Amino acid sequence: MLYEFLFPLADKHIVFNLFQYITFRAGGAMLTALIIAFLAGPPILSWLRGQGIGQVIRLDGPHAHLAKAGTPTMGGLIILASVIVPTVLWARMDNAYVLIALGLTSVMGLLGFADDYLKVVRRESRGLVARYKLVGQLLLGLLLGLLIWTYPLSDYPINHTTLPFFKEWRLVIWAPFFIPFVALVVSGSANAVNLTDGLDGLAAGLAAIAGGTFGLFAYLIGRVDASQYLGLFYLPGVGELSVFCAALAGGALGFLWFNSHPAEVFMGDTGSLAMGGALGTVAVLIKGEFLLLIIGAVFVVEALSVILQTSWFKYTRRRFGQGRRVFRMAPLHHHFEQLGWSESKVVVRFWIAGVLCALIALSTLKIR
C-alpha cells in the first residue's frame, strides 16, 4: 500500500524512490512486524487473561508441563496481526503471489482459531476432531492447487518443480496429481509446525529462520539477473514474496519476546497452522517444495517422529498384543526432555539445527 501511495512521489523527492526496492520494503515489513508484536502483545495478553483463555495441558505429556496449565493461548493472534498488517503496508497489493500467501495464511489461522476456541470452551486438549481439522487443511491446499492450475502465475510450466542441488533437472509432476501434491505440501507443512509447537519458543524460532531463508530465495528467483547468475529459474513478480516472508520472520521473532521460556503466552493452533500454512504456500509459489524439506527439516523430523511412533505402536499392538515405542515420547522434542535435557536446552539446540538446515539450503545456490 505504501508503494502505491509514496513511490509516485519519487519525482518530487528522491527519498520516495526507496519504495521501488524490495529489499527496503522487506526491511520495513520486518521492522513493522516487530513493532506491532511488541505493541499488540500486552493488550492481547491482557484480553486473553481476562477471558480466561488458558492452555489445557495433556495429562499424558511431560509432567514438568503441568505447571503451564492456564497459560494464555491463542497468542497466534499476535503473529497474524504482525504478518498481515506489515505485508499490506509494505508489499505491492497488486501482486498475485502476495495476495495468495496472505489469503491462505489468514484462512489457515482462522481454522486454527476455531480449534483453539473449542479447546477453551470444552476445556479439553482435543479441540477440533483431528480428521475434521485435516480435511480443512487439505481443502485449503486443494483450492490453492486448483487456483494455480486454473490461473497460472507465470510462463513457467505449472506442474514442474525444482530439485535442490541440480541446475538443469526439473521434476515433472503428473498433471492429475499436481493439485493433490500442492494440498499435501500445504497441509503437511501446517501439521509439521503444529506438532513442533510443544516447547516455549521452539516453533516461533524455527519459523523465523525458515521465513527469512525463504524470503532470500524468493528475492533471488524474482530477479532476472540474480536468477540467471545462480542458474535458477526466473519468476517475474515472485520477489514480492520476500516482503511477506520478512513480515513472517519479524512476526515470529516479535512473538518470541512473549513466548520465550517461561512463556507468557502460547501461539496455539491459531499461530502454528498459520505459520505452517504460510511456509508451505511460499514453497509452492516459488517452486521450492523439495527445498522446504531442507529449510524446514526440523519440522519434518518432528512430524516423522509422531508418524513413526504411532505406526510402530499400532503395528506391535496387533502383532504382539502390546504396543511398543520407538521414542520415549513423541514428538521428538519430548523424547529429549525424557532423556533429561532441560526445555531451554532442547529449544536452543533445535534452533541451531534449524540454522544449519537453512545454511545447507543456501548452499544449494552454488552447489548445483
**Residue 186 has which C-alpha cell?**
500445504
Give the H/E segment covering residue 240: none
Contacts of 356 (CB under 8 A, 6+ apart): none
**Amino acid letter, 315:** Y
pLDDT of residue 368: 73
pLDDT of residue 7: 60
Query: Smallest Cα–Cα separation from 293: which of 197, 102, 161?
Result: 161
Domain ranges of the chain: 2-363
pLDDT of residue 334: 92
Angstrom distance (rounded) from CA 226 to CA 229: 5
**Bridge partners, 160 (sequence order):** 172
Round the CA-based radius of gyration of the chain to a whole number and report it. 21
Which pTM was predicted?
A: 0.94
Q: Which portions of the chain are predicted below pLDDT 70?
A: 3, 6-11, 54-70, 121-129
Contact between 75 and 268 (Cβ < 8 Å): yes
pLDDT of residue 71: 81
Angstrom distance (rounded) from CA 148 to CA 150: 6
pLDDT of residue 18: 83
pLDDT of residue 132: 78
DSSP 263: P
| Residue 71 backbone class (left: φ over 0; alpha: ψ -120 to 50; beta: rest) | beta
**Amino acid letter, 19:** F
Q: Is 175 exposed, middle or buried (0-12, 13-18, 19+ CB in 10 A)?
A: exposed
pLDDT of residue 309: 95
pLDDT of residue 117: 82
Helices 130-150 & 96-122 angle (0-180, nearest 10): 170
Give the H/E segment covering residue 311: helix 297-320
pLDDT of residue 333: 94
Contact between 182 and 215 (Cβ < 8 Å): no
pLDDT of residue 59: 55
Cis previous bond, 331, omega within 30: yes
pLDDT of residue 12: 75
